[in-house]
Amino acid sequence: METTQRRAPATEAVHAGRDDLAALGLHAVPLDLSTTYPSRDSRDEARRIDAFAATGARLDGPPIYARVDNPTTARFETALARLEGTQDAVAFASGMAALSACLLARSALGLRHVVAVRPLYGSSDHLLSSGLLGTEVTWTDPAGIADAIRPDTGLVVVETPANPTLAEIDLRAVAHDCGSVPLLADNTFATPVLQRPAESGARIVLHSATKYLGGHGDVLGGAVACDEEFAGALRQVRFATGAVLHPLAGYLLLRGLATLPVRMRAASATAAELAARLAADPRVSAVHYPRIGGAMVSFEVHGDPHAVIGGVRLITPAVSLGSVDTLIQHPASISHRVVPAGARADGGVSEQLLRMSVGLEDPADLWADLDTALASADPGDPGPGHGAEDNPARRLKETRTSDSA
Ligand SMILES: *Cc1c(COP(=O)(O)O)cnc(C)c1O
């Protein structure tokens, strides 16, 4: 890890992982696509492979093979760790590969039980519910975590704000209830710009880097920010199972981090404005927008949610989130389809819910598109500006907090 003194997040975003470039005579980050590296000293390589097998720590000296380590990806890992305020970070081929590695690292120690709080991202819910990796899950609400923990519990898994309801969890309280069991917080929605879960006691901070870290809808990746010891375990799992991030993806994710603070601030301001307009609209029955802010807005409509999806023109009707352009999708049909209907309902994912990832477009253009789409979903509606402003029942409904999740 780099040893520079603590700098502000905006500074870290553009400098972390790049501190050696000037000394190398470089400005842009070098992209190393090598799968293997020449070495005439196989005794030294044997020593370094033994060291990696013992702790999983990053290799000292030159790389050996791309499944062990890659210098470009390592720059992204260094930068993410600095932004999250953790000792280390480990990158994976996708967010799901990152979550799988966390589960495998714990179950390799015989700790196969997981305690988790709904809602989670649909595929995370599915991975835990299916037991595909040999784990067993107990679903609970935040207040039930302490009671759900068993001697073989290896992880507590939460998301805050959660996908897709934007429900928030008090991480400090939950971390306390976890005791010695590591708390994994999925920070994909907030990003370190809005929330640094490690400061609240989460030992493991998970990202689908596909979303805001990449930020342009063109990179699939995952990452875990954590302490050095757990990072070592994750590197060993990554080496053994092979879900490495491609170096070009590592390059693009590092580049994405540089603009993460400005993108998050700009998109959050627009999202807050759209959330307020939706809350004042009679065609909308509920709006979920997190206390900590962010670029995600979820809302429930009185009319047909599928007609809203079919009615947008500027906004892209697509799953995923965190890009520079605005996306909207129907969780019950798409992102959370793999979650059984009953479990979706338990997690607050109603059939009327739409999830919108707000991008960097002008707020007025986005509202005009939403307004038209809402009208097509609710043909009998008088439209905006007909008493919506003075209807107190339409005021922004705060996202549910820990005691009601
Ligand atoms: C998308 C997502 C994931 C999974 O990430 P992939 O990169 O698609 O594998 C995990 N958690 C959350 C909150 C997500 O939104």
Task: Specify whether the CB–CB gap between 370 and 312 falls below 8 A.
Answer: yes
Helix (H) / strand (E) containing 21 = helix 21-24
**Is 395 a residue whose pLDDT tops 50?**
no
CATH number (domain holding residue 278): 3.90.1150.10
Does the active-site annotation cover 67?
yes
Atom of ligand 1 nearest to the CA of 162: 13
Q: Residue 392 is part of which domain span?
A: 264-399
Considering the domain boundaries, does residue 161 fall inside one?
A: no
Q: Active-site residue among 67, 255, 265, 337?
A: 67
pTM recorded for the entire structure: 0.93
In whole angstroms, how far apart are CA 40 and each of 37, 46, 49, 280?
10, 12, 15, 70
| Among the listed residues 171, 204, 216, the one whose alpha carbon sits nearest the alpha carbon of residue 90 | 204
Q: Active-site residue among 18, 203, 211, 394?
A: 211
CA of 41 to the centre of ligand 1 (A): 41
**Rounded to the nearest 10 degrees, how much is the dihedral formed by the CA atoms of 38, 39, 40, 44?**
-170
Task: Specify whether the CB–CB gap between 58 and 273 falls below 8 A.
Answer: no
Task: Specify whether the CB–CB gap between 194 and 165 falls below 8 A.
Answer: no
User: How many domains would you assign to the chain?
Assistant: 1
Q: Is 94 in the pocket of ligand 1 (CB under 6 A)?
A: yes
Q: What stretches of 213-362 show up as alpha helix (H) in DSSP?
A: 228-241, 247-279, 305-311, 341-346
The vertex-249 CA angle with 243 and 254, nearest 5°, equals 120
Considering the domain boundaries, does residue 215 fall inside one?
A: no
Q: What is the pLDDT of residues 30-80, one digit of tens each?
A: 999 999 999 999 999 999 999 999 999 999 899 999 999 999 999 999 999
Considering the domain boundaries, does residue 279 fall inside one?
A: yes
Minimal-distance CA residue to ligand 1 atom 2: 208
The pair phi, psi for residue 121, each rounded to 5°, is: -50, 140
**Rounded to the nearest 10 degrees, how much is the dihedral formed by the CA atoms of 138, 144, 146, 148?**
-20
**Is 400 a residue whose pLDDT tops 80?**
no
Task: Specify whether the CB–CB gap between 113 and 138 falls below 8 A.
Answer: yes
Minimal-distance CA residue to ligand 1 atom 12: 121
Q: Is 335 in the pocket of ligand 1 (CB under 6 A)?
A: no
Does the active-site annotation cover 397?
no
Q: Give the strands of the sheet with 204-208, arranged side by side.
A: 88-92, 222-226, 204-208, 183-186, 153-159, 113-117, 136-140
Task: Specify whether the CB–CB gap between 165 and 349 falls below 8 A.
Answer: yes
Considering the domain boundaries, does residue 214 fall inside one?
A: no
As a whole number of Å, the end-to-end CA separation of the chain is 38
Minimal-distance CA residue to ligand 1 atom 4: 95
Q: Token pair for residue 98?
A: 């990152």
Work out the pLDDT band at 381, boundaries 50, 70, 90: low
pLDDT at residue 60 in the model: 87
Atom of ligand 1 nearest to the CA of 96: 9
Residues 281-290 have a mean pLDDT of 97
Residue to substitute in 117, 160, 163, 339 for testing ligand 1 pocket (most ligand atoms within 8 angstroms of CB): 163
Considering the domain boundaries, does residue 290 fall inside one?
A: yes
| Among the listed residues 28, 78, 84, the one whose alpha carbon sits nearest the alpha carbon of residue 58 | 78
Q: What is the pLDDT of residues 189-232, one digit of tens each?
A: 999 999 999 999 999 999 999 999 999 999 999 999 999 999 99
Amino acid identity of residue 223, one-letter, is A
Peptide bond preceding 119: is omega within 30 degrees of 0, i.e. cis? yes
Q: Is 210 in the pocket of ligand 1 (CB under 6 A)?
A: yes
Q: Active-site residue among 121, 212, 251, 289?
A: 121
Q: State whether residue 155 is helix, strand or coil.
A: strand
The vertex-28 CA angle with 26 and 31, nearest 5°, equals 100
Considering the domain boundaries, does residue 137 fall inside one?
A: no
Atom of ligand 1 nearest to the CA of 189: 13
Residues 347-361 have a mean pLDDT of 96
Residues 277-284 have a mean pLDDT of 98
Minimal-distance CA residue to ligand 1 atom 7: 95
Q: Is 282 in the pocket of ligand 1 (CB under 6 A)?
A: no
Q: Which residues contact 334 (CB under 8 A, 6 or more apart)?
A: 319
CA of 208 to the centre of ligand 1 (A): 4
Does the active-site annotation cover 121?
yes
Q: What is the pLDDT of residues 106-138, one digit of tens each?
A: 999 999 999 999 999 999 999 999 999 999 999
Q: Is 125 in the pocket of ligand 1 (CB under 6 A)?
A: no
Residue to substitute in 100, 117, 120, 124 for testing ligand 1 pocket (most ligand atoms within 8 angstroms of CB): 124
pLDDT at residue 34 in the model: 98
Q: State whether residue 103 is helix, strand or coil.
A: helix
**Is 403 a residue whose pLDDT tops 50?**
no
CA of 262 to the centre of ligand 1 (A): 22
Considering the domain boundaries, does residue 390 fall inside one?
A: yes
Q: Is 366 in the pocket of ligand 1 (CB under 6 A)?
A: no
Residue to substitute in 210, 338, 349 for testing ligand 1 pocket (most ligand atoms within 8 angstroms of CB): 210
CA of 321 to the centre of ligand 1 (A): 9
Considering the domain boundaries, does residue 373 fall inside one?
A: yes
Atom of ligand 1 nearest to the CA of 210: 7
Amino acid identity of residue 256, one-letter, is G
Tell me the C-alpha distance between 18 and 15, whole Å.
5
Atom of ligand 1 nearest to the CA of 320: 1
Q: Is 301 in the pocket of ligand 1 (CB under 6 A)?
A: no
Q: Is 95 in the pocket of ligand 1 (CB under 6 A)?
A: yes
pLDDT at residue 262 in the model: 98
CA of 210 to the centre of ligand 1 (A): 7
Helix (H) / strand (E) containing 223 = strand 222-226
Does the active-site annotation cover 211?
yes
